[in-house]
Chains A and B, each alone.
Chain A
Amino acid sequence: MARIGIFLCHCGTNIAGVVNISQVREAVKDIPQVVLVEESKYMCSEMGQGGIREAIEKNKLDRVIISACSPRMHENTFRKTVADAGLNPYLLEIANVREQDSWVHADDKEAATEKAIALTRTAVAKALLNQPLTPKRVGLTKRALVIGGGIAGIQAALDIANAGHPVVLVEREPTIGGRMAQLDKTFPTLDCSSCILTPRMVEANQHPNITIFTYSEVMSVSGFVGNFKVQIRQKARHVDSVKCTGCGICWQKCPDLVPSEFDTGLGGRKIIYVPFAQAIPNVPVIDMPNCRYVKHLEAAKEGKKLPPCRICEKLCPTGAIDWEQEDQVLTEDFGAIVVATGFKPFDYGRYTEFGAGKYPDVIGLLQLERLLSASGPTNGELKRPSDGAHPKTVVFLSCIGSRDERMGKPYCSKVCCMVMAKQAILLKDHDPEIQPYVFYIDVRAGGKDYEEFYQRSQREQGVLWLRGRVSKLYQDNGKVIVMGEDSLMGRPVEIAADLVVMATGMEANDGAVDLAQTLHISYDTHGFMVEAHPKLRPLETNTDGIFLAGTVSGPRDIPETVAQGSGVAAKVLGLFSKDELATDPTVAYVDAMRCTGCFLCAEVCPYGAIDKEPSRDGRLLAKVNESLCKGCGLCVAGCRGNCINLRGFTNQQVIEEIMALCR
């Protein structure tokens, strides 16, 4: 006979306001083997947990049911609670009566109460078959992988490295620095962006504990927390980074120019190039498809003749150009992975009413950032793209690819209002004759000194903020005509602008979904990665040992991104402070008496966790390798003879749950 204790949590009014707790108590108290039903206003509070511990000890409980919030919320909390009272933590079962009952059935209290009873009963039925389980202990590699070399990744890498652990920083572009390197100034302090970023980049580069792989991508990830195995592809730069001194002769003499990605297409870069002057590492890459020598080789194959060029090779004083270099695949071990792959600006070309990206004087935020920057394509002289004239009337359009259901982007990108305020101020700074207009829906200036900054743009700098949307843009006689509405004055507005700036929102970065799938972590409909809990675990994912920092999980400004970088480092260091980790004991096991050795289980196992072991009569039978098994249960559903089962989710347990729920 089991001795079951049921603990009903009120969760303040979250549960008790909908579910009639005393009715639940009445319904479950007479279930066979239930010896105790207790209530608490907050079961997770110290008092609530103390009550559970006391009840276990006093009543010699050997099964505990907690009817409360989702097990995804507090399963670990309560497992610890029962373990403190000397009970095996896997004898605990949680009935999810908050997230999956009281919160969704608040309009029908009777049905919610009935459901709470059913869920609690079901937990009892399942718990009766729970077995005490003991986690195994495994070692861990105290080495972190940071994916993404923007400010979030750099911050995380520095903080982990400063605590004494080796870090590998992987960046797919030829340099670290990320989006922040493209910015001119930052709000609300108007700090020069690269002046505050590049010292961090240099620090990361010179740190003895940090290894930087630029122009590299993560190909595959296997293993589990503490013991990840990651394949990293280092793309061929065609420049030997050991020999190269970064003298710059090659990119000065390279004869061809193509639009620069770093300057958002506004300026040009050479074929052998570093993205910007302070790039780290200061080793160029050769853009092979555009290279004259590569074109020469391809033409030669077709029997045509093109000049071979190879000027970079001829002029390089150290002989660093290497045409034969190939992509390299490295396999490395890590204990933790930080994902900090950032965002990309929304493509405003999707707005056909605003010229579908075809009007040269309609640009995005990031383009204006480059035009304002002293290191930009115009060396900081504000010239509009079409004719190089100095614009005098500049119009900003807010919420481009933000708060727009039509574009499938219902979310607010959070920073664009402040970026517009900043850029409008910078425009005035460049040329006091410029009149900036800003069309906005709402101004969102939530942040330290942000509201003051926005007010300053209005009061001191004379930026005109017009509440309303723009319906159309068209080109007329060297101007872009903006047809909008001032909804506060209730009248249409028409402005002949020299330059129009689209306040482009943040979108999930290219390849974000692929990376999430490689890492087996969740992402939302917009491609932003999903946190383990939006409020309480914003830096963790549902996969232990994989963490998120910065705009990879949603729009954020720089201070928040940096804070997340440091936060994630704290999470990684917490993990690395242990010498061994407990593995989840809810793994599969084989009933050797029934196993026929068909190995269907091995075929479906994604982890190769099924070993073949000879039995006494020499037949090969399945055996689960517990350190590889992750407890998915595919083998259990795959087995024909019910010979393999999953601890914590056995067939019999699920059947008991079904029976209890169908009553």
Chain B
Amino acid sequence: MSLDYEPRIIGFLCNWCAFAGADLAGTTRTGYPSNIRIIRVPCSGRVDPLLILKAYQQGADAVLIAGCHPGDCHYVQGNYFARRRFALLRQFLDYLGIEKERLRLEWVSASEGRKFARLVKEMTEEVSRLGPRKDTVRRPVKVATE
């Protein structure tokens, strides 16, 4: 039996840098795994930790938050808030039985389509290696037998 496991990754992408970077990956036809599902937010600092937990609760295998590089935030300092919240939430994940690798915060500028594609690829591979979530999983895991 082989485990055909397709992780579901929720990406919160800021409108000004990361979402534009993801668009650029498309414009330049830089492919990446289809496991990521993108939610557009105005700023990485808009992402309330509760929203991330909501994604885990709904069965997401991993969450990516991507915003502007430090110093480049369209809203001056939103990404710094995102970074602090991320640091705190990451500490908390252990307690929830969720591996730290399932949460990432990355800086992707509007010109970094390739970087975004690489990130998604990396993350998909990493989460695939981890396998399905070991805490309560709501979403049924697709299992194929050969």
Contact call A522/B111, Cβ cutoff below 8 A? yes
CA distance A525 to B107 in the complex (A): 12
Contact call B46/A649, Cβ cutoff below 8 A? yes
Mark A288-324 against chain B: 1 for CB-CB distance below 8 A, else 0.
Answer: 0000000000000000000000000000000000000
- Residues in B whose Cβ lies below 8 Å from that of A654: 39, 41, 51
Contact call A99/B27, Cβ cutoff below 8 A? yes
Is B139 in contact with chain A by the CB < 8 A criterion?
A: yes
Q: Which residue of B lies closest to A657 (CB)?
A: B39
Choose the segment among A100-108, A278-286, A389-397, A566-574 that binds chain B (4+ C-beta atoms closer than 8 Å).
Answer: A100-108
Contact call B74/A100, Cβ cutoff below 8 A? no
Is A111 in contact with chain B by the CB < 8 A criterion?
A: yes
Within 8 A of B (CB), among A81-119: 96, 98-101, 103-108, 111-112, 114-115, 118-119
Contact call B117/A104, Cβ cutoff below 8 A? yes
Contact call A662/B58, Cβ cutoff below 8 A? yes
Is A466 in contact with chain B by the CB < 8 A criterion?
A: no
Contact call B110/A662, Cβ cutoff below 8 A? no
Using known A-B contacts A638-B81, A654-B41, determine if residue A99 contacts B23 with beta carbons closer than 8 Å.
yes
CA distance A637 to B38 in the complex (A): 19
- Residues in B whose Cβ lies below 8 Å from that of A646: 42, 46
- Residues in A whose Cβ lies below 8 Å from that of B30: 104
- Residues in A whose Cβ lies below 8 Å from that of B47: 637
Chain A interface residue bracket vs B: 35 or more
CB-contact partner of A606 in B10, B32, B42, B75, under 8 A = B75
CB-contact partner of A71 in B26, B40, B42, B74, under 8 A = B40
Contact call A655/B78, Cβ cutoff below 8 A? no
Within 8 A of A (CB), among B40-68: 40-43, 45-51, 54-55, 58-60, 68
Q: Which residue of B lies closest to A99 (CB)?
A: B26
Contact call A655/B23, Cβ cutoff below 8 A? no
CA distance A106 to B30 in the complex (A): 10
CA distance A100 to B50 in the complex (A): 25
- Residues in B whose Cβ lies below 8 Å from that of A165: none
- Residues in B whose Cβ lies below 8 Å from that of A108: 34
CB distance from A646 to the nearest CB of B (A): 7
How many chain B residues touch A (CB < 8 A): the figure is 54
Within 8 A of B (CB), among A188-221: none
CB distance from B124 to the nearest CB of A (A): 12
Choose the segment among A130-138, A148-156, A351-359, A626-634 that binds chain B (4+ C-beta atoms closer than 8 Å).
Answer: A626-634
CB distance from A521 to the nearest CB of B (A): 8
CA distance A369 to B26 in the complex (A): 42
Using known A-B contacts A100-B26, A524-B109, A542-B74, determine if residue A633 contacts B81 with beta carbons closer than 8 Å.
no
CA distance A657 to B37 in the complex (A): 10
CB distance from A292 to the nearest CB of B (A): 40
Is B77 in contact with chain A by the CB < 8 A criterion?
A: yes
Contact call A651/B51, Cβ cutoff below 8 A? yes
CB distance from A378 to the nearest CB of B (A): 41
Contact call B75/A630, Cβ cutoff below 8 A? yes
CA distance A661 to B51 in the complex (A): 13
Is A250 in contact with chain B by the CB < 8 A criterion?
A: no
Using known A-B contacts A522-B68, A522-B110, A525-B111, determine if residue A632 contacts B43 with beta carbons closer than 8 Å.
yes
CB distance from A306 to the nearest CB of B (A): 43
CA distance A110 to B2 in the complex (A): 21
CA distance A111 to B7 in the complex (A): 13
- Residues in A whose Cβ lies below 8 Å from that of B55: 658, 662
Is A547 in contact with chain B by the CB < 8 A criterion?
A: no
CA distance A654 to B58 in the complex (A): 13
Mark B62-89 against chain A: 1 for CB-CB distance below 8 A, else 0.
Answer: 0000001001111111100100010000
Contact call A104/B29, Cβ cutoff below 8 A? yes
Q: Which residue of A lies closest to B82 (CB)?
A: A637
Contact call A70/B26, Cβ cutoff below 8 A? yes
CA distance A530 to B112 in the complex (A): 11
Is B8 in contact with chain A by the CB < 8 A criterion?
A: yes
- Residues in B whose Cβ lies below 8 Å from that of A542: 16, 20, 74, 110
Is B25 in contact with chain A by the CB < 8 A criterion?
A: yes
CB distance from A246 to the nearest CB of B (A): 41
Using known A-B contacts A104-B26, A655-B54, determine if residue A72 contacts B41 with beta carbons closer than 8 Å.
no
CA distance A663 to B55 in the complex (A): 11
CA distance A365 to B34 in the complex (A): 47
CA distance A115 to B45 in the complex (A): 26
Is A659 in contact with chain B by the CB < 8 A criterion?
A: yes
Is A517 in contact with chain B by the CB < 8 A criterion?
A: yes
Using known A-B contacts A522-B111, A634-B78, determine if residue A100 contacts B48 with beta carbons closer than 8 Å.
no
- Residues in B whose Cβ lies below 8 Å from that of A106: 29, 31
CA distance A422 to B19 in the complex (A): 43
- Residues in B whose Cβ lies below 8 Å from that of A70: 19, 23, 26
CB distance from B143 to the nearest CB of A (A): 17
Within 8 A of B (CB), among A534-549: 534, 542-543
Contact call B51/A655, Cβ cutoff below 8 A? yes
Contact call A72/B23, Cβ cutoff below 8 A? yes
Is A636 in contact with chain B by the CB < 8 A criterion?
A: yes
CA distance A460 to B117 in the complex (A): 50
Is A523 in contact with chain B by the CB < 8 A criterion?
A: yes
Interface centre among A115, A520, A530, A654 (most CB of B within 10 A): A654
Mark B90-131 against chain A: 1 for CB-CB distance below 8 A, else 0.
Answer: 000000000000000000011110000100000000000000
Mark A601-632 against chain B: 1 for CB-CB distance below 8 A, else 0.
Answer: 00010100000000000000000000000111
- Residues in B whose Cβ lies below 8 Å from that of A661: 8, 10, 37, 39, 60
CB-contact partner of A662 in B8, B19, B73, under 8 A = B8
- List 15 interface pairs A-B (beta carbons < 8 Å), by A numbering: A72-B23, A101-B34, A516-B72, A520-B73, A520-B74, A525-B112, A632-B43, A633-B41, A633-B46, A634-B81, A637-B45, A646-B42, A654-B51, A655-B51, A658-B39
Q: Which 9 A-B pairs have the closest CB atoms?
A: A99-B26, A633-B46, A524-B111, A662-B58, A632-B75, A103-B26, A111-B34, A606-B76, A99-B23
Interface set of A (CB-CB < 8 Å, partner B) = 70-73, 96, 98-101, 103-108, 111-112, 114-115, 118-119, 122, 516-517, 520, 522-525, 530, 534, 542-543, 586, 604, 606, 630-634, 636-638, 646, 649, 651, 654-655, 657-659, 661-663
* Besides A99-B22, A634-B75, 16 new A-B residue pairs in contact (Cβ under 8 A), listed by A number: A96-B40, A99-B23, A100-B22, A101-B26, A104-B25, A520-B72, A522-B72, A523-B111, A637-B45, A637-B46, A637-B48, A637-B49, A651-B50, A655-B51, A658-B58, A661-B8
